[in-house]
Chain A
Amino acid sequence: MIAIQILPRTDRGYKMNLSRNKYKLITMKNILIISFTFLVLLLTGIRCTKYPIDEDGLLITGRAECYVSNFELLNIDFQTVRSTSAVIDTIAQTIDVEVYWGTNLKKLWPQFSLVTDAKLDPKITDWVDFSNLTNPKQWTVISGNRKVKKTYTVNITVQAKP
Chain B
Amino acid sequence: MLAIILFVSSCQEQEYSLPEANTHFQNDVIKRSIGPNVVGLNIEFVYAMALGLENGNILSAQVEASIPGAAGTFLEHRSYYTGPGGNDVGIDVANPSTTSGPVTEVVFTRDTCAAALRYYYIIPEEARGKSVSFTFSAEASTGETVSFKMGPYNIGKVEIKRDITLNDNDLRYFSIADMQVYDSTDAAAIPDKIDLVYLYRSISGINFNHALVAPGADPEFLPDIILPGGVDNPTKIRQTWQLRDEHLARLQYHIYIDDLDFEEIDLSSSSDYAINLRAESGAWVETADGNYRAFVYVNSVSNSGKTMKISVKRYTMN
Q: Do A and B bind? A: yes
Question: Which residues on B sit within 8 Å (CB–CB) of A162?
Answer: 203-206
B208 adjacent to chain A (CB < 8 Å): yes
Q: Which residues of A contact B276 (CB under 8 A)?
A: 102
| CB contact list, A109-162 vs B, under 8 A | 127, 129, 159-162
Given A76-B238, A77-B241, the answer on whether A102 and B273 have CB atoms closer than 8 Å is yes
List, in ascending order, chain A residues with CB within 8 A of B208's CB.
101-102
Q: Closest CB-CB distance, B182 to chain A, in whole Å?
A: 25
A84 at the interface (CB under 8 A from B): no
With A76-B238, A77-B241 given, is the CB distance from A159 to B206 under 8 Å?
A: yes
User: B239: which of A77, A101, A106 is its contact (CB, 8 Å)?
Assistant: A77
Taking the nearest CB of chain A, how far is it from the CB of B180, in angstroms? 27
Contact of A129 among B269, B271, B273 (CB under 8 A): B269
Chain A residue with Cβ nearest B284 = A76
Give the number of residues in A that approach B within 8 Å (Cβ atoms).
15
- Write the nearest CB–CB distance from B235 to chain A, whole angstroms: 14
The interface residues of chain B lying within 8 Å CB-to-CB of A76 are 238, 240
Of residues B221, B269, B273, which shows the largest number of chain A Cβ atoms within 10 Å of its Cβ?
Answer: B269
Which residue of chain B lies nearest to A159 when distances are taken between CB atoms in the complex? B206
Most buried by B among A101, A107, A159: A101
B270 at the interface (CB under 8 A from A): yes
Chain A minimum-CB-distance residue to B272: A104
Find the B residue at minimum CB distance from A162. Answer: B205
In this complex, what residue of B is CB-closest to A76? Answer: B238
Contact partner, B206, options A77, A101, A104, A129, Cβ 8 Å: A101
Q: Which residue of B lies closest to A105 (CB)?
A: B271
Q: Is the CB of A161 within 8 A of B203?
A: yes
Is the C-beta of A71 less than 8 angstroms from some C-beta in chain B? Answer: no
Compute how far the CA of A127 lies from the CA of B205 in the bound complex, rounded to whole angstroms: 28
**Bound complex: CA A160 to CA B207 (Å):** 11
Select from chain A the residue with minimum beta-carbon distance to B238: A76
In the bound complex, what is the Cα–Cα distance between A102 and B275 (angstroms)? 7
B289 within 8 A of A: no
Closest B residue to A102 using CB positions:
B275
Report the count of interface residues on B (CB-CB < 8 A).
19
Q: Which applies to chain A's interface (DSSP): helix, strand, loop or mixed?
A: loop
> Is B13 in contact with chain A by the CB < 8 A criterion?
no
Please tell me if the beta carbons of B269 and A106 are within 8 angstroms of each other in the complex: yes
Complex CA gap A76/B269 in Å reads 11
Bound-state Cα–Cα, A161 to B203, Å: 9
Chain A residues whose CB sits within 8 angstroms of the CB of B203 once the complex forms = 161-162
The reply to whether the CB of A19 lies closer than 8 angstroms to some CB of chain B is no
Q: Does A79 contact B (CB under 8 A)?
A: yes
B306 to chain A, nearest CB (A): 19
Residues on A with C-beta less than 8 A from B220 are: 161
Partner of A161, one of B206, B238, B241, B269: B206
Q: Which one of B205, B239, B242, B275 contacts A160 once the chains associate, using CB atoms below 8 Å?
A: B205
Cα–Cα distance between A101 and B220 once the two chains are bound (Å): 11
CB-CB contacts of B168-204 with A at 8 A, as 1s and 0s? 0000000000000000000000000000000000011
Beta-carbon contact of B271 and A100 below 8 Å? no
Q: How far apart are the CA atoms of A77 and B274 in the complex, in Å?
A: 13
> A106 CA to B206 CA in the complex, in Å?
20
Shortest distance between the CB of B280 and any CB in chain A (Å): 13
Return chain B residues, CB-CB under 8 Å to A159.
Answer: 205-206
0/1 string, B203-244, CB within 8 A of A gives 1? 111111000000000001100000000000000001111100
Point out the residues of chain B lying under 8 angstroms from A102, CB to CB.
206-208, 221, 271, 273, 275-276
The residues of B that contact A160 with a CB separation of less than 8 Å are 205
- Which residues from 69 to 95 on chain A have a C-beta closer than 8 Å to any C-beta of chain B? 76-77, 79
State A79–B238 Cα separation when bound (angstroms): 13
Q: How far is the CA of A77 from the CA of B241 in the complex (A)?
A: 7
Binding site for B on A (CB under 8 A): 76-77, 79, 100-102, 104, 106-107, 127, 129, 159-162
Jot down 9 A-B pairs with beta carbons below 8 A, ordered by A.
Answer: A77-B241, A101-B207, A101-B208, A102-B271, A102-B276, A104-B271, A106-B271, A159-B206, A162-B204
